[in-house]
């Protein structure tokens, strides 16, 4: 699987170019599945925000509203009840998974419970576009400060990459560089603080930062 890990989505031409490179064809020719599941685990998300994402409303022009050939929904909480024989072909036929933010530990739980996490290694050509928690879920840990789901056992996530991500740098009063430095010291592994104009592209273990904004790497 090819990863485009963002804080705010495909927000500038550089990130858009990286996305098209990963897809290998224009966005308008690609079939996307939207994964809204992380939103249900975060207290600031709810039916209105999920609706905006799924309907590709104006506020979602950087993810679901990019102009895909088709846009479907993959709700992970439903998958265990319908059987892999139904949903696995949907995933295999998609060019890209658009995985929105919310709570990364909640998303991790349902990726594991649904079987999607186990399926990902068999999808080398599929592109994963994460926003916030949709990016953080691929890391080993998110840090306690980013855990909003009360049932989360800890801050661990999938560990499909070997670094962690501090998103929304400078976007909120609690997401300053000083906050990111403290978070990185606590988490103790290589990590990146990224703003809304930055993405991390990962292909076959090679990591590349794509940015028209501000980012910082902590650790070696």
Q: Which residues, at least 6 apart from 57, have a Cβ–Cβ distance to it below 8 Å?
A: 51, 65
Residue 170's Cβ-side half-sphere holds a number of Cα atoms within 13 Å equal to 9
Question: pLDDT under 70 in the chain at which residues?
Answer: none
**Residue 176 phi/psi, 5° resolution?**
-80, 170
pLDDT tens, residue by residue, 96-118: 999 999 999 999 999 999 999 99
pLDDT at 115: 98
The CA distance from 146 to 156, in Å, is: 11
pLDDT at 48: 87
What is the full DSSP assignment across 122-160?
Answer: G-TT-EEEEETHHHHTTSSB--GGG---TT-SSSB---S
Do 33 and 220 form a contact (C-beta atoms < 8 A)? Answer: no
pTM of the model: 0.96
E-assigned strand segments in the chain? 2-6, 31-35, 70-73, 96-99, 127-131, 164-166, 191-194, 198-203, 206-211, 215-218
pLDDT at 191: 98
Do 69 and 28 form a contact (C-beta atoms < 8 A)? Answer: yes
pLDDT at 49: 85
Count of all residues that appear for the chain in the document:
220
pLDDT at 96: 98
Q: Does domain 2-218 have CATH number 3.30.1490.20?
A: no
pLDDT at 202: 98
């Amino acid at each position: 699987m090819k990863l485009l890990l963002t804080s705010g989505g495909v927000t500038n031409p550089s990130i858009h170019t990286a996305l098209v490179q990963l897809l290998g064809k224009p966005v308008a020719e690609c079939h996307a599945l939207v994964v809204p599941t992380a939103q249900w685990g975060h207290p600031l998300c709810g039916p209105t925000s999920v609706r905006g994402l799924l309907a590709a409303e104006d506020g979602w022009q950087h993810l679901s509203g990019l102009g895909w050939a088709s846009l479907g929904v993959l709700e992970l909480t439903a998958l265990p009840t319908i059987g892999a024989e139904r949903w696995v072909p949907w995933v295999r036929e998609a060019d890209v998974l658009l995985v929105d933010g919310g709570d990364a530990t909640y998303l991790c739980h349902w990726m594991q419970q649904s079987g999607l996490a186990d399926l990902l290694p068999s999808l080398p050509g599929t592109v994963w576009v994460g926003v916030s928690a949709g990016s953080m879920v691929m890391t080993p840990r998110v840090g306690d400060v980013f855990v909003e789901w009360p049932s989360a056992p800890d801050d661990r996530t999938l560990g499909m990459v070997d670094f962690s991500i501090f998103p929304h740098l400078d976007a909120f009063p609690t997401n300053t560089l000083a906050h990111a430095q403290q978070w990185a010291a606590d988490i103790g592994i290589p990590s990146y603080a990224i703003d809304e104009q930055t993405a991390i592209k990962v292909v076959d273990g090679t990591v590349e930062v794509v940015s028209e904004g501000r980012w910082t790497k902590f650790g070696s």
